[in-house]
């Protein structure tokens, strides 16, 4: 007999070929996503159900909420009946800022506080949620009136919604309260208070403007009177007269008279010179004119001295004129403000008052359940991918082949049957089932593997850990060989936890343990089963040192004799991890097949088991996937392997 330790474990011809499609893919695999969702559909449906149930309970036990709506017209600016710039400042550059300002004013603390006082509102106007009720039960709210009012203002603001109507200057003001009548009353009170406050603000602006102008007029009048007094006193002190709207003094007046007299005297001299009869009068006329010139010179000297005083006079006069113009302008502004204050239009108008709502606004059963379905679906998908990411069980055949570098020899579908005895006979009792076909396919695959190995027809079936169904696999596979006319020997070599005799209904007397210890002879070892051509060697009594017994020469002799008398020898052995038994048995057989529970065994468990075998110089021929619920989820596209049940 040739064991695997002698069949050139490093021979590349015996190593499985890894197909290209088994390599890691970097591109987005939509089919992989769909497979993940299919695998986790139970989780997704459970989460959706939980979310729907919680939403249903929340909806049924939530207090009703009623919405009342008032419609308000908000104009961009008022009509300028009187063009007073500081009362009508014109368009704000950004219209959005203007309307957003109006919306914030509607929900301002001052408006809501006036509504509370006007309607004498209490906290019961606001619907209290289940969470709020629980919170108030655990932490009672403060009993201070100021704190309660502030909290009520905040609560009303949170339940007040401003909705501009598109392509219009209309605004819907919604309020959601605990009662239909209360909701309508609050909505109407809010818009009415807002409109009233806007009028009051405009009136207040006019009043403040009047007050401001009156103060400025009083100051201007005082300045005018003061400047007029200074001008009069200065003119009187320096004998300055106003002639023909021109500034004048006694000197300037006398200069005018002397200039006129000089003109007449010069005319007289001209007349005397032209009249020969009057030549004896020329000297007197010239003397008179000279006298007038002297007087003019004296008066001009006086006028020059008064020039400085005249300039001061003019300065005082200009100050009077300036103060008078300012005073008159302020008086005119005051008249305009008085008129504007009486005719100013309000840019706000209530179009529709809020009516008492007939139906509750919230909770809406259909909306809540639809939203819960969407939320549950999204949450379920997120949890599904998280669970799939955290789940290290075998989910993809290609990935398993890549990580283990071993081929998948067969796929055994899951079944509904729970009775171990019936499960062990499925290949025979249901020959047309996919289970039977799977074992026949496995038998064919192993036949080729045995030919390639060129050794004895000995097969060792093990697993990474316990409870992966290797005993059921061993019995069904042995029955499939026997049903094909092969003489088969099935050995239970799990000396720590034997189960073959229980499943097959045989006794544990004269078992393998007795033979290995010398208590049982070889001729009494094999027992005939209820399957034609199939003999069984039970494990017998449990042993304290199974590894020592299995490494006994008698075990090798048994296998040598068995291969000479049987067409196929199948060993149902113990799991690999934590035990040396499996490695001993693997070294004595031609093929070693690793049974893997596809739904429960972690990939790391499989790779660790294989690593332990390889460290001992042993080679596993391939992997048998057991208890597969849906082969298509594992990468097989052939629907032939699908089976809707599970062990």
Nearest to 341 by CA among 442, 478, 200: 200
CB neighbourhood size of 148 (10 A): 14
391 vs 555: CA distance, rounded Å = 40
Q: Average pLDDT for residues 219-236, to the nearest whole number? A: 81
Nearest to 433 by CA among 412, 406, 453, 405: 412
432-467 per-residue burial string, b: 16 or more CB within 10 A, e: under 16 = eebbbbbbbbbbebbeebbeebebbbbbbbbbbbee
Write out pLDDT tens, residues 607-616: 888 888 888 8
313 vs 85: CA distance, rounded Å = 37
The DSSP call for residue 495 is S
449 vs 336: CA distance, rounded Å = 112
* Conformation bin of residue 120: beta by default, left when phi > 0, alpha when psi is -120 to 50: left
The pLDDT value given to residue 133:
58
pLDDT over threshold 80, residue 30? no
Write out pLDDT tens, residues 456-497: 899 999 998 888 888 889 999 999 999 999 999 999 998 888
List CB contacts of 121: < 8 A, sequence separation 6 or more. Answer: 115, 152, 156, 186
- DSSP labels, 506-571: ---TT-HHHHHHTSS-GGGT-EE-SSTTEEEE---S--S-HHHHHTSHHHHHHHHHHHHH-SEEEE
**Least confident stretch, 232-241, 482-491, 576-585:** 232-241
List CB contacts of 381: < 8 A, sequence separation 6 or more. Answer: 37, 44
Q: What is the mean pLDDT of the chain?
A: 79
CB neighbourhood size of 523 (10 A): 7
Nearest to 462 by CA among 598, 555, 603, 586: 586
Strand pairing category for 568-572 and 246-249:
unpaired
SS3 state at 118: helix
**% of the chain with per-residue pLDDT over 70:** 81
pLDDT over threshold 60, residue 7? no
256 vs 263: CA distance, rounded Å = 11
Write out pLDDT tens, residues 261-274: 778 877 878 777 78
The pLDDT value given to residue 192:
92
The pLDDT value given to residue 82:
44
- Taking only Cα atoms into account, the Rg of the chain, rounded to an integer number of angstroms, comes to 58
CB neighbourhood size of 225 (10 A): 13
- 393 strand-pairing partners: 602
SS3 state at 176: strand
pLDDT over threshold 80, residue 93? no
The pLDDT value given to residue 140:
62
479 vs 439: CA distance, rounded Å = 9
322 vs 326: CA distance, rounded Å = 6
Nearest to 645 by CA among 383, 430, 388: 430
Q: What are phi and psi of 121, to 5 degrees?
A: -75, 150
The DSSP call for residue 578 is T
Write out pLDDT tens, residues 168-198: 889 999 999 888 999 999 999 999 999 988 8
Q: Which residue has the tokens 């009946």?
A: 81
List CB contacts of 318: < 8 A, sequence separation 6 or more. Answer: none
> What token pair was written down for 104?
């914030």
370 vs 55: CA distance, rounded Å = 10
- DSSP labels, 280-307: GGHHHHHHHHHHHHHHHHHHHHHHHHHH
Write out pLDDT tens, residues 524-565: 888 888 889 999 999 888 878 888 889 889 999 999 999 999
> Are the beta carbons of 267 and 259 closer than 8 angstroms?
no
Q: Average pLDDT for residues 89-118, to the nearest whole number? A: 80
Nearest to 373 by CA among 38, 45, 42, 37: 45
- Measured at the CA of 78, the angle between CA 72 and CA 84, to 5 degrees, comes to 160
350 vs 188: CA distance, rounded Å = 9
> What token pair was written down for 5?
């330790």
Better-scored residue on pLDDT, 68 or 469: 68
Query: Binning pLDDT at 50, 70 and 90, where does residue 281 land?
Result: confident
> What token pair was written down for 214?
């009156």
362 vs 126: CA distance, rounded Å = 13
> What token pair was written down for 336?
């305009």
Query: Binning pLDDT at 50, 70 and 90, where does residue 92 land?
Result: very low
Secondary structure string (H, E, C) spanning 342-356: HHCCCCEEEEECCCC
- DSSP labels, 49-108: HHHHHHHHHHHHHSPPBEEEEEEEEE-SS---SS--TTTS----S-HHHHHHHHHHHHT-
The pLDDT value given to residue 17:
40
The pLDDT value given to residue 2:
32
Please tell me whether the peptide bond between 363 and the residue prior to it is cis, using omega within 30 degrees of 0: yes
């Amino acid at each position: 007999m040739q064991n695997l330790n002698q069949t050139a474990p490093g021979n590349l011809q015996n190593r499985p070929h890894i197909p290209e499609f088994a390599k890691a893919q970097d591109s987005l695999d939509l089919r992989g996503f769909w497979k993940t969702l299919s695998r986790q559909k139970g989780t997704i449906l459970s989460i959706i159900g939980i979310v729907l149930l919680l939403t249903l309970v929340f909806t049924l036990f939530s207090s009703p909420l009623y919405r009342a709506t008032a419609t308000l017209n908000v104009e961009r600016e008022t009509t300028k009946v009187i063009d007073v710039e500081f009362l009508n400042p014109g368009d704000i550059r950004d219209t959005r800022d203007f309307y957003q300002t109006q919306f914030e004013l509607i929900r301002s603390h001052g408006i809501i506080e006036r509504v509370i006082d006007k309607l004498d509102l209490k906290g019961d106007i606001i619907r209290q949620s289940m969470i709020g009720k629980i919170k108030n039960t655990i932490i009672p709210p403060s009993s201070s009136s100021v704190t309660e009012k502030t909290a009520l203002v905040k609560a009303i603001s949170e339940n007040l919604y401003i909705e501009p109507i598109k392509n219009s200057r209309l605004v819907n003001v919604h309020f959601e309260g605990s009662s239909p009548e209360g909701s309508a009353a609050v909505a109407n009170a809010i818009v009415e208070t807002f409109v009233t406050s806007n009028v009051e603000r405009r009136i207040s602006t006019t009043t403040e403007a009047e007050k401001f102008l009156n103060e400025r007029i009083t100051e201007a009048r005082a300045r005018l009177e003061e400047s007029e007094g200074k001008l009069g006193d200065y003119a009187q002190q320096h004998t300055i007269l106003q002639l023909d709207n021109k500034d004048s003094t006694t000197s300037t007046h006398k200069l005018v008279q002397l200039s006129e007299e000089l003109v007449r005297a010069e005319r007289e001299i001209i007349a005397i010179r032209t009249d020969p009869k009057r030549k004896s009068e020329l000297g007197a006329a010239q003397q008179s004119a000279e006298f007038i010139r002297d007087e003019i010179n004296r008066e001009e000297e006086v006028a020059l001295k008064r020039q400085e005083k005249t300039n001061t006079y003019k300065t005082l006069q200009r100050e009077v004129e300036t103060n008078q113009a300012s005073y008159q302008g302020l008086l005119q502004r005051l008249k305009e403000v008085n008129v504007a204050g009486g005719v100013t239009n309000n840019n706000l108008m209530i179009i529709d008052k809020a009516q008492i709502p007939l139906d509750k606004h919230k909770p809406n059963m259909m909306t809540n359940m639809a939203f819960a379905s969407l939320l549950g679906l999204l949450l379920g998908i997120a949890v599904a991918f998280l669970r799939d990411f955290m789940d290290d069980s075998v989910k993809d055949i290609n990935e398993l082949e890549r990580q283990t570098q071993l081929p998948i020899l067969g796929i055994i579908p899951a079944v509904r049957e729970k009775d171990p005895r019936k499960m062990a006979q499925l290949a025979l009792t249901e020959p047309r089932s996919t289970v039977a076909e799977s074992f026949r396919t496995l038998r064919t695959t192993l036949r080729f593997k045995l030919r390639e190995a060129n050794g004895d027809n000995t097969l060792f079936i093990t697993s990474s850990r316990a409870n992966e169904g290797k005993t059921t696999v061993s019995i069904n596979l042995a029955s499939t060989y026997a049903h094909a006319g092969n003489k088969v020997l099935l050995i239970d070599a799990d000396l720590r936890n034997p189960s073959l005799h229980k499943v097959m209904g045989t006794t544990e007397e004269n078992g393998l343990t007795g033979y290995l210890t010398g208590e049982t002879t070889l001729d009494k070892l094999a027992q005939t089963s209820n399957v034609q051509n199939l003999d069984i060697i039970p494990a017998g009594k449990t042993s304290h040192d199974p590894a020592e017994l299995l490494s006994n020469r008698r075990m090798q002799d048994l296998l040598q004799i068995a291969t000479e008398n049987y067409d196929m020898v199948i060993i149902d052995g113990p799991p690999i991890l934590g035990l040396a038994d499996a490695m001993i048995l693997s070294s004595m057989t031609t093929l070693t097949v690793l049974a893997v529970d596809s739904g429960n065994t972690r990939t790391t468990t499989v790779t660790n088991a294989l690593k332990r075998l390889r460290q001992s110089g042993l080679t596993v021929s391939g992997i048998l996937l057991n208890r597969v619920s849906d082969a298509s989820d594992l990468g097989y596209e052939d629907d032939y392997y699908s089976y809707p049940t599970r062990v």
